[in-house]
């Protein structure tokens, strides 16, 4: 696994592994269910990923969008490919919500809806809450 994948706490944060990609629970939740979709290839630019990885990316995105609609009724999805600090190809996958979303006994607000997300805005999710969130997502795949 490349440095970016390891930085996002692989394998502890793993939601699902594909041939060319891993889906990780983002440690800082911007919106509930924020993920990192990281390419396993050691490339630093989206056009450099292999054709196989590019094709599989569509499957990964579809799987994650279906999952977030199923578990949290997400309204939209943002994919951010910044790669300024973490150089290998990866996307911050942010489900977006018009209304507050409930998980367990807590309600979470998408503070920037309908505007662009602010990666500096972090939801307050406890360590226990993150573990429960990961289990919930994996169980519903």
Q: How sure is the predictor about 72, in pLDDT bands with cuts at 50, 70 and 90?
A: very high
Q: What is the pLDDT of residue 9?
A: 96
Condensed to tens digits (0 to 9), the pLDDT of residues 2-14 reads: 999 999 999 999 9
CATH 3.40.1440.60 for domain 3-139: no
Condensed to tens digits (0 to 9), the pLDDT of residues 30-66 reads: 999 999 999 999 999 999 999 999 999 999 999 999 9
Q: What is the pLDDT of residue 66?
A: 98
Taking residues 118-124, report their average pLDDT. 93
Segments making up each domain of the chain, as ranges:
3-139
DSSP string, 84-98: SSS-SSEEEEEEE-S
Q: What is the pLDDT of residue 12?
A: 97
Q: What is the pLDDT of residue 124?
A: 93
Q: How sure is the predictor about 70, in pLDDT bands with cuts at 50, 70 and 90?
A: very high
DSSP secondary-structure letter at 111? T
Q: What is the pLDDT of residue 103?
A: 96
Choose among 45, 29, 32: nearest CA to 87. 45
Share of residues in the chain with pLDDT > 90 (%): 99
Choose among 14, 58, 4: nearest CA to 35. 14
Q: Is the separation of the CB atoms in 2 and 40 below 8 Å?
A: yes
Q: Is the separation of the CB atoms in 24 and 14 below 8 Å?
A: yes
pTM over 0.85: yes
Instruction: State the alpha helices, DSSP H only, in the chain.
Output: 3-7, 51-72, 127-139
């Amino acid at each position: 696994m490349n440095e970016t994948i390891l930085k996002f706490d692989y394998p502890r944060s793993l939601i699902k592994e594909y041939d060319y990609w891993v889906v990780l629970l983002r440690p800082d939740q911007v919106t509930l269910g924020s993920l990192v979709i990281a390419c396993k290839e050691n490339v630093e630019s989206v056009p450099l990923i292999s054709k196989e990885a590019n094709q599989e990316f569509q499957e990964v995105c579809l799987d994650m969008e279906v999952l977030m609609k199923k578990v949290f009724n997400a309204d939209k999805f943002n994919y951010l490919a910044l790669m300024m600090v973490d150089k290998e190809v990866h996307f911050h996958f942010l489900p977006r919500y018009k209304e507050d979303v409930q998980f367990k006994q807590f309600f979470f607000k998408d503070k920037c809806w309908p505007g662009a997300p602010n990666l500096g805005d972090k939801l307050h999710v406890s360590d226990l809450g993150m573990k429960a969130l990961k289990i919930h997502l994996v169980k519903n795949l």
